[in-house]
Amino acid sequence: MGVMELLVPLVERARDGDRAAFGDLHARFARPVYLALVGLLRRREDAEDAWQVTFLAAWRHLPRLRRADRFPGWLFRIARNAARDVAQRRKRFPAALPDASDLVARPNGLPAPPSAADPLPALVGELRPETRALVLLRAVEGWSAEEVAAAFSWSASTVRRRYARALALLRARLTERNGS
């Protein structure tokens, strides 16, 4: 039984007001949504704000979701909208510039801070926001191209192509930085 076949009944129960089912959905998607938001926003604090808004909006608007099989894309669209709103608010009320250590995650047992000797988080931080989110979901969370495609409403081949380009770019920059 595939992931979507297991997910659809859970989404349907949550849509009907089953809090435990929504809790299961939250447990399944909390970390990936957070990683995508960290990729889009770079700052932990901004990602945490958008993450909370995302799940509150999802619970509130879930009864309106017509097709349970479209839940991942719907949820990530809410997350992207929340990220946009947080980024606009940040422009109005600027904070200190983030450093690469802000690419670490905190809620729900997310990855620990990278060591200062590891240049990879800084290099990932230099990627475009959607590419950062893609790399974090694929490399850190271990999502398949199909799962990322469903979340971002892209094709699996687009995900594979963008991921391959991002990895090639990261390898080149790492080689350049190491002077090899």
* Contact indicator for 170, 123 with CB cutoff of 8 Å: yes
Q: Give the pLDDT score at 121.
A: 83
Q: Give the pLDDT score at 23.
A: 97
pTM over 0.85: no
Low-confidence residues in the chain, pLDDT < 70: 1-4, 93-117, 180
pLDDT tens digits, one per residue of 96-148:
444 444 444 444 444 444 455 677 888 888 899 999 999 999 998 999 999 99
Q: Give the pLDDT score at 101.
A: 44
How far apart CA 117 and CA 103 sit, in angstroms, is: 15
Comparing CA positions, the residue from 140, 135, 134, 151 lying closest to residue 4 is 151
Total domains present in the chain:
1
CATH of the domain at 127: 1.10.1740.10
Q: Give the pLDDT score at 72.
A: 95
Q: Give the pLDDT score at 64.
A: 95
Give the three-state DSSP class for 118. coil
Of the CA atoms within 13 Å of residue 106, those in its CB half-sphere come to 12
How far apart CA 87 and CA 92 sit, in angstroms, is: 9
Residues of the domain holding 156: 3-178
Q: Give the pLDDT score at 179.
A: 77
